[in-house]
Structure 1
């Protein structure tokens, strides 16, 4: 797999965009189990962070990044610019993580 740079900016320092290949995205749907839900509910009442949910969100981000890298590689891109994450609750205990951006080819300046 090629090392594909993913950035939230519109460009890359020291590199010039030579070709725009299109908008791409990577997605992950993650769920929490009943034990995590109960523990998170208790933390909501007494305060504190929900480590189990944070780990699930991190897993979703990692999967979405892997997804978008694969799609960029299939297009022959070496970078994705303008990347943004979106999180959406799909139902009880289900979270959709989306990462979208523009696949580009670049060259060093």
Structure 2
């Protein structure tokens, strides 16, 4: 499955549009990663735990979107957009949603 943020795939004409597809993942960040991130927030630096969780959630959301595109008979998704949202202020839930247009190229 070709997945791209552009509206087309160079050299491959779009033969059919199958509709908009989505993938969503809501994940919790565990307390130990929160503690590590809090320490890094004080002293500076990157939070590897959060980065890994974010990457895993993004990949899972993209896979979900691709599965939905495949169910529609598509072999590519164009115009992909990725959004991140923190749900609530106290519960540490992260939502990653991706959307794009399922197409046949």
TM-score tier by shorter-chain length is over 0.9
Q: Secondary structure at 2:32's aligned position in 1?
A: helix
Mapped partners of 1:50, 1:76: distance in 2: 39
Residues 1:85 and 2:79 aligned together: no
Q: Secondary structure at 1:15's aligned position in 2?
A: coil
Mapped partners of 1:45, 1:22: distance in 2: 46
Mapped partners of 1:29, 1:59: distance in 2: 11
RMSD over equivalenced CA pairs, Å: 0.7
Mapped partners of 1:87, 1:52: distance in 2: 17
Residues 1:32 and 2:21 aligned together: no
TM-score by length of structure 1 reads: 0.92
- Identify unmatched segments of 5+ residues in structure 1: none
Shift, 1:93, TM fit? 1.0
Q: Secondary structure at 2:14's aligned position in 1?
A: strand
Q: Which residue of 1 aligns with 2:2?
A: 5
Deviation beyond 4 Å, 4+ runs, structure 1: none
Count of aligned positions: 103
- Identify unmatched segments of 5+ residues in structure 2: none
Q: Secondary structure at 2:8's aligned position in 1?
A: coil
Shift, 1:82, TM fit? 0.1
Q: Secondary structure at 1:61's aligned position in 2?
A: helix
